[in-house]
Amino acid sequence: MLSRRSLFLLMGGAAALAGAGYGASRVGEQPEPPLPPGQDRQGRLLWRNWSGLQTAYPATRAAPADEGELADILRRAEGPVRAVGSGHSFMPLVPTPGTLVTLDRMSGLAGHDPATGTATVRAGTRLVELGTALAGIGQEMANLPDINKQSLGGALATATHGTGAALPALHGNVTALRLVTAAGEVLDCDASRNPELFAAAKVGLGVFGIVTQATLRNGPLRRVERNVWLQPLEQTLAEWPALRAAHRNVEFYYLPFTDMTAVITHDETDAPATPRPPAQDNEALLDLKRLRDWLGWSPALRRRMAKLALSGLEPEKVVGESWQLLSNERPVRFNEMEYHLPLEAQPQALREVVAVIETNRPDVFFPIEARVIAPDEAWLSPFQGRMTGSIAVHAYYKDNYAFLAALVEPILRRHGGRPHWGKLNSLGTADFAALYPRFAEASALRRSLDPEGRLLNDYLRGIFAHG
Ligand SMILES: Cc1cc2nc3c(=O)[nH]c(=O)nc-3n(C[C@H](O)[C@H](O)[C@H](O)COP(=O)(O)OP(=O)(O)OC[C@H]3O[C@@H](n4cnc5c(N)ncnc54)[C@H](O)[C@@H]3O)c2cc1C
């Protein structure tokens, strides 16, 4: 995220204090979470998600090469039949004891139209491959998530988003979808063909069918200038409306127990590309962790040391193609909760989240992320009908994440938030029905396509079977 010029000094100081006996720290490294067995008693292999929280032992795994094979699988396979992308969701959307279907063999560009700036993309395509493929035809997705490891099908299914006041989430630029239903029927949908299914299945969680391809309305390939700088939280909140208006993509991270934010902007430019310096995010993150480990026992000292170190950090500026700069590598695993709030509620909700964490949870060190997303009309889109400000809180994968549900979620719900479908939340049918005006229609449509619920695992049955 930022150059680390003075972090070493800081770390030396913190380590010395800890060594001098001040820091028989109450908050330190937790043991590695236990690994589930690699196979179950029947010899079925383990599937686990990226963070390690979700696991399953599917009876069958299938990798169809085309829609014909997929339709056969959907007609005959043992249920629940669940699609998997790259397993980056934190919620139990994918796990099944039945059939796990990957579209890894159904990836790449299926076609494009330079006149409309659209491209039709097979759903198994990873976003990183899509960036390269679109660049090859002079197109780009102007909004991308924080990482690009997801499959297109998986990203759309949970309303994956980036940031930018004029930019909707990824599904907001989908102009057509093709999916195969539980009965093995191949359906095309867009604004005129099966329009209701189109509105429901754009953010479809794999319950309306398995999406095989999507047509995306893209922008022309652009270079962007990326700027990253630090400033106090209250300054960022005061400037947030102006920052949103001024920058194509803008977000900020609050660094817990520092009072400081890192603001990140991307704006189109014709300037030549500059070399991208080696990513510093993860080293900076591990430094924040060390500070937690050594000085977590004294929030005041931790804050003072952090401020001292951060004051020496240089802003970052780099120019490159948008799809190369918008997404990052995230090798340090975590569990995450993200809620999407009415934009005007975001600053106060964030202040409350920061206060509750800094009062109760000295173990938290992961930056808290705030983004902005333009509205769209998909029935199950958390951005449906309103400008959205999102707040994402992370917990290191070894740390207890119960505080997300106990302390953070009540605040985000009180401010009118809708949870990210792929990230931790404790909501059920009644909650979703209250948050989504078209939830009952979506549920009825799902039932008409899959009356036996063969596409529902236990978690999704709880949400949709009686909705
Ligand atoms: C490190 C990290 C960073 C992240 N950053 C962001 C971010 O910046 N913004 C954001 O919004 N989210 C972010 N996420 C969340 C992530 O984008 C979503 O959880 C996304 O759904 C993951 O895509 P996937 O391919 O891994 O799908 P999976 O997690 O494998 O599956 C997700 C859902 O999609 C369904 N599905 C998969 N393929 C298909 C298909 N072809 N047809 C129908 N349904 C299908 C699955 O059944 C499941 O319900 C992040 C997650 C991680 C771990």
pLDDT of residue 16: 56
Q: How far is CA 58 from the centre of its chain?
A: 25
Question: Do residues 77 and 60 make contact, with C-beta atoms less than 8 angstroms apart?
Answer: yes
Q: Does ligand 1 lie within 6 Å of residue 203's CB atom?
A: no
pLDDT of residue 15: 57
Rounded to the nearest whole angstrom, what is the distance from the C-alpha of residue 425 to the centroid of ligand 1?
15
Q: Does ligand 1 lie within 6 Å of residue 155's CB atom?
A: yes
Give me the domains of the chain, ranges plus CATH numbers.
Answer: 7-24+223-419 (3.40.462.10), 47-102 (3.30.43), 109-220 (3.30.465.10)
CA–CA separation, 397 and 392 (whole Å): 15
Atom of ligand 1 at shortest range from CA of 51: 53
Q: Does ligand 1 lie within 6 Å of residue 88's CB atom?
A: yes
pLDDT of residue 20: 53
Q: Which residues contact 244 (CB under 8 A, 6 or more apart)?
A: 165, 250, 372
DSSP E strands in 89-154: the ranges are 99-102, 109-113, 118-122, 139-140
Question: Do residues 223 and 319 make contact, with C-beta atoms less than 8 angstroms apart?
Answer: yes
Q: Which of 49, 51, 86, 88 to mutate to test the pocket of ligand 1 (most atoms within 8 A of CB)?
A: 88
Rounded to the nearest whole angstrom, what is the distance from the C-alpha of residue 245 to the centroid of ligand 1?
28
Tokens encoding 5: 């010029």
β-strand pairing of 164-168 with 368-374: parallel
Per-residue burial over 414-440, b = 16 or more CB atoms within 10 Å of its CB, e = otherwise: ebebbbbbbbbbeeeeebbbebbebbe
CA nearest neighbour of 374 among 181, 220, 232, 162: 162
pLDDT of residue 13: 55
pLDDT of residue 17: 57
Q: Does ligand 1 lie within 6 Å of residue 411's CB atom?
A: no
pLDDT of residue 280: 80
pLDDT by residue (tens digit) across 80-89? 999 999 999 9
Residues of the chain whose pLDDT is less than 70? 1-26, 467
Overall pTM > 0.85: yes
How many residues belong to the chain?
467
Radius of gyration of the chain (CA): 22
Taking CA atoms only, the protein residue closest to ligand 1 atom 44 is: 206
Distances (CA, A) of 69 to 103, 166, 457: 11, 40, 22
Burial label for 129, CB within 10 Å (0-12, 13-18, 19+), is middle
Rounded to the nearest whole angstrom, what is the distance from the C-alpha of residue 9 to the centroid of ligand 1?
39
Atom of ligand 1 at shortest range from CA of 126: 25
Taking CA atoms only, the protein residue closest to ligand 1 atom 51 is: 88
Sign of CA dihedral 79, 467, 430, 357: positive
